[in-house]
Amino acid sequence: MNLKKIIYFVLCALFLNTLTACIPVLIVGTGAVAGYSLSSDSAIGEMKCDYRSLWDITVDKLESMQAEISFSNESKGLIKAKISGYSVTVKIDELSSKIQKLKISARKNLLPKPQFAQKIFLKIAEDLK
């Protein structure tokens, strides 16, 4: 392929990516996460650990951030909390015994705040290392 075709392909891929409102991000240097993406209000990624470890680390991290947990159901993998005025929802889905899908959504005054969700996601990923 020549350079024009490569540039065209990359630009098309970036344009199509903006239509989906997802931003793929790769975390380098951590064995716990292969990568994650940001949507309009959440950070989503696959964590390399067992369900119980991810649940415990998530609860511990939320508590260390002084979260007011309003709902918690470990069997459904769901936590709803308030942190510094942000409404945060955490969802953990078991994909296999050693891979979990973690989704963290954040909103403030009904507006999506994906950067805050990303901040929580990265703190949890850091603790999994």
d(CA 91, CA 34): 18
Q: Specify the pLDDT at position 39.
A: 84
Q: What is the mean pLDDT of residues 107-117?
A: 94
Out of 10-14, 24-28, 111-115, least confident range: 24-28
DSSP state at residue 65: T
pLDDT at position 21 over 90: no
Quickly state the pLDDT bin for 32 (edges 50, 70, 90): low
The kind and range of the H/E element at 117 are helix 114-128
Q: Give the SS3 label for residue 111.
A: strand
Q: Give me the CATH code for the 24-128 domain, please.
A: 3.30.530.50
Q: What is the pLDDT of residues 38-95, one digit of tens each?
A: 888 899 999 999 999 999 999 999 999 999 999 999 999 999 999 999 999 999 999 9
Q: Give the SS3 label for residue 15.
A: helix
Q: What is the mean pLDDT of residues 87-105?
A: 95
Q: Specify the pLDDT at position 8.
A: 54
Domain spans, the chain = 24-128
Q: Specify the pLDDT at position 6.
A: 55
Structure-token pair, residue 37: 């993406």
Supply the pTM of this predicted model.
Answer: 0.74
d(CA 4, CA 111): 40
Work out the burial of residue 81: count CB atoms within 10 Å of its CB; fewer than 13 is exposed, 13-18 middle, 19 or more buried: buried
d(CA 64, CA 68): 11
Name the residue type at position 4. K
